[in-house]
Amino acid sequence: MTEHVGSEFMKRTRYEFLGPSDQQRGRPSPPVEMPWDQSAEVIDLPGRDALEFSPVDLTDAIERRRSLRDYAAAPMTVGELSYLLWCTQGVKEVIPGAATLRTVPSAGARHAFETFLLVNRVDPLAAGLYRFLAVEHKLLALRTGEEVAGEAVRGCLGQEFVADSAAAFLWAADARRMIWRYGQRGYRYLHLDAGHVCQNLYLAAQAVGCGVCAIAAFDDDAMNRLCGLDGEEQFVIYLAAVGRMGGVAV
C-alpha cells in the first residue's frame, strides 16, 4: 500500500471526493499567525527601505539562478536578513479576522506558512533558532546557542552546508489555515505555495550577494521537534540555506 501512497493522495484530493469545507460550514477562519508569548522579548527588524543595494535585473537574476552549497565565511547583516524575510513572507496588508496579503502568492490568500530561522552568522544576532513574526515584522528568539546548528544538520540527514550557511529558512505549514477553505485538497496547495516562497528567496538573495540551496531531504520528526511543532496540524514542509557567494554553484 505504501508504494502507492502518492498516487492515492492525488486521487483522494480530487474535487469529486471533497465534502464541504469549514469555510462553507460557516466556521471562523483560523488566526493568520500562530500564537506567541506577547510578553516575550522580540527583536525589531530594519524596514526594507533601510537597506541600500544595487538593483538586480529580474531577467538576469532568473538566468543566473543556481543552487549554492559552498558559502563564504563572511556574515550576513540583520538588514539583509530582514529584506529576505520581507521578500518571502512580507505582509503588505492585514484583512482583520480573515487573511493577509503578502509578497508571495498563496491559494486563497491563506498564507499558511510560518518562517523559522537557524541563524549561524548574521550580524549582530546570536546564533540559534528564531521565529519570524510576519505581521509584526519582528524576530522572536526561541533558542540561542551554536549547538542548534548541529541538531539542524542531523535533522537534515547530515547535510553539513546547513551549518556552514549564514542562515537557514525553515518554512512550517499551519495546515488549518489552508484546510479551512479547501479541505483535504489544501494539502496540495501547501506544497505549491512552498515553491513560490523559495523561488522568491533564490531571486531576492542575489540582490544582497548571497546564494541559496533548497532542501527537501530531512527527517520530518526531527525538524518538527526542533521548531516545537506537533507534526500533525503544524509541520516543517521545506527548507533553504542562505550564505555569502564565494563557493561553487550547481
| pLDDT tens, residue by residue, 32-52 | 999 999 888 899 999 877 777
Q: What is the pLDDT of residue 248?
A: 54
Supply the mean pLDDT for the chain: 94
Q: What is the pLDDT of residue 1?
A: 54
Strand partners, 176: none
Q: What is the pLDDT of residue 247?
A: 55
Q: What is the pLDDT of residue 220?
A: 98
Q: What is the pLDDT of residue 54?
A: 78
Domains of the chain: 2-32+42-244 (3.40.109.10)
Average pLDDT over residues 23-31: 94
Element (H, E) at 237: strand 234-244
Q: What is the pLDDT of residue 156?
A: 98
* Amino acid identity for residue 31 in this structure: P
Query: The C-alpha cell of 12 is what?
Result: 483522494
Band (123; pLDDT cuts 50, 70, 90): very high
Contact 132, 89 (CB under 8 A): yes
Band (249; pLDDT cuts 50, 70, 90): low
Question: Which tens digits make up the pLDDT trace of 194-242?
Answer: 999 999 999 999 999 999 999 999 999 999 999 999 999 999 999 999 9
Phi, psi values for residue 226, rounded to 5°:
-60, -40
pLDDT at 97 over 80: no
Pairing mode, strands 76-77 and 122-123: parallel
Considering the chain, what percentage of its residues have pLDDT values greater than 90? 89
Cα Rg of the chain, angstroms: 18
Q: Which residues of 172-205 are buried (b: 16+ CB within 10 A; e: fewer)?
A: bbbbbbbbbbbbebbbbbbeebbebbbbbbbbbb
Q: Which residues of 136-149 are buried (b: 16+ CB within 10 A; e: fewer)?
A: ebbbbbbeeeeebb
